[in-house]
Amino acid sequence: MSERGRFISLEGGEGVGKSTQVKALADALRQRGLDVLVTREPGGSEGAERIRELLLTGSQERWGARAEALLFAAARADHVEKAIEPALKSGKWVISDRFVDSSLAYQGGAGGLGIEAVRAINAFGIDENFPDCTLILTLEEGGERARARDLNGSDRIGGRSDDYHRKVEAAFHIIAAEDPDRVKLVDASGAADAVTLRILEAIKELLQ
Ligand SMILES: Nc1ncnc2c1ncn2[C@@H]1O[C@H](COP(=O)(O)OP(=O)(O)OP(=O)(O)O)[C@@H](O)[C@H]1O
Ligand SMILES: [Mg+2]
């Protein structure tokens, strides 16, 4: 039996550099000899990828707020059961590009359901398998990075109003303040390499 791996999630609003940093962090951990699974949400398992399609395409009216939150939670439950837990059990380190805190911030904080209600359905869905460490990347001009990249338009969630995205950002700060042992804010400004160093500093206790 190998020692259980560690579970790290990267969070933050649109275009703050999550996917860039997930890749850089995976490289850094592999250089330390760790076996790493990189995954992303919504998705990360066959069933969850099917639900991803339903969530990210179609009109804004396709899902009401509660159905949307439950679909994200259902996708995440499958992701944990089929991909994350088996990897952790086999000793792999798992890095997820978004996880439960995106639901808390988007569906809970910005979508009007409240952080607590969304935490409750997700705690059930993931059977309390919260990450060992969550890094929320913060950046004022994340929207500009995302717009420069997505010239042909953003998805059903990314395309919501500036006001929605401001509420997401505010909710991420509340989440970090409420759960300081698990959740850390990381400044995502400046060069990608500098951000990676800040991330490695933030997870140094896990690396000991
Ligand atoms: N430190 C950085 N400085 C400048 N540009 C960056 C930096 N990090 C990432 N980028 C660029 O900004 C854009 C958004 O980065 P990335 O896709 O990693 O963000 P994301 O948080 O995953 O976005 P999304 O929420 O849309 O998935 C990309 O074009 C990426 O190459
Ligand atoms: Mg991304």
pLDDT score of 59 more than 90: yes
Looking at ligand 1, which atom is closest to the CA of residue 14? 25
Least distant ligand from the CA of 195: 1
Backbone angles phi, psi at 100, to 5 degrees: -60, -35
Looking at ligand 1, which atom is closest to the CA of residue 148? 29
Average pLDDT score over the chain: 96
Dihedral sign for Cα atoms in the order 173, 174, 175, 181: positive
Question: What is the pLDDT at residue 140?
Answer: 83
Among the listed residues 14, 9, 68, the one whose alpha carbon sits nearest the alpha carbon of residue 37: 9
Cα(142) to ligand 1 centroid in Å equals 8
H or E segment to which residue 110 belongs: none
Least distant ligand from the CA of 155: 1
Inside any domain, residue 142: yes
Other CB atoms within a 10 A radius of the CB of residue 48 amount to 26
Q: CATH number, domain at 113?
A: 3.40.50.300
Other CB atoms within a 10 A radius of the CB of residue 40 amount to 19
Least distant ligand from the CA of 20: 1
Inside any domain, residue 179: yes
- When divided into structural domains, the chain yields a total of 1
Inside any domain, residue 25: yes
Q: What are 140-149's pLDDT values in tens digits?
A: 877 788 888 8
- Asked if residues 139 and 189 have their Cβ atoms less than 8 Å apart, the reply is yes
Question: CA 21: distance to chain centroid?
Answer: 12
Angle at 166 between CA 102 and CA 77, to 5 degrees: 10
Inside any domain, residue 161: yes
Ligand 1 binding pocket mutation candidate from 10, 18, 20 (most atoms within 8 A of CB):
20
Question: What is the pLDDT at residue 1?
Answer: 64
CA-closest residue to ligand 1 atom 23: 15
Cα(81) to ligand 2 centroid in Å equals 23
Alpha helices, H only, the chain: 18-31, 46-56, 65-79, 85-89, 100-103, 115-125, 142-149, 162-178, 192-202, 204-207
HSE-up (13 A, CA, CB side) for residue 190: 9
pLDDT score of 84 more than 70: yes
Q: Residues 6 or more apart from 175 whose CB is under 8 A from it?
A: 101, 104, 105, 109, 115, 136, 183
Work out whether strand 133-138 and strand 7-11 pair parallel, antiparallel, or are unpaired: parallel
Inside any domain, residue 70: yes
Question: What is the pLDDT at residue 179?
Answer: 97
Mean pLDDT, rounded, for 88-114: 98
pLDDT score of 86 more than 70: yes
Mean pLDDT, rounded, for 121-149: 92
Mean pLDDT, rounded, for 81-93: 98
Q: What are 166-180's pLDDT values in tens digits?
A: 999 999 999 999 999
Among the listed residues 203, 44, 37, the one whose alpha carbon sits nearest the alpha carbon of residue 133: 203
SS3 label, residue 91:
coil
Residue 152: pLDDT band by 50, 70, 90 thresholds?
Answer: confident
Inside any domain, residue 1: no
Q: Print the domain residue range for 188.
A: 7-207
Mean pLDDT, rounded, for 71-89: 98
Inside any domain, residue 2: no
Residues flanking ligand 1, CB < 6 Å: 12, 14-20, 145-146, 149, 191-192, 195
Inside any domain, residue 174: yes
- Asked if residues 113 and 65 have their Cβ atoms less than 8 Å apart, the reply is yes
CA-closest residue to ligand 1 atom 3: 191
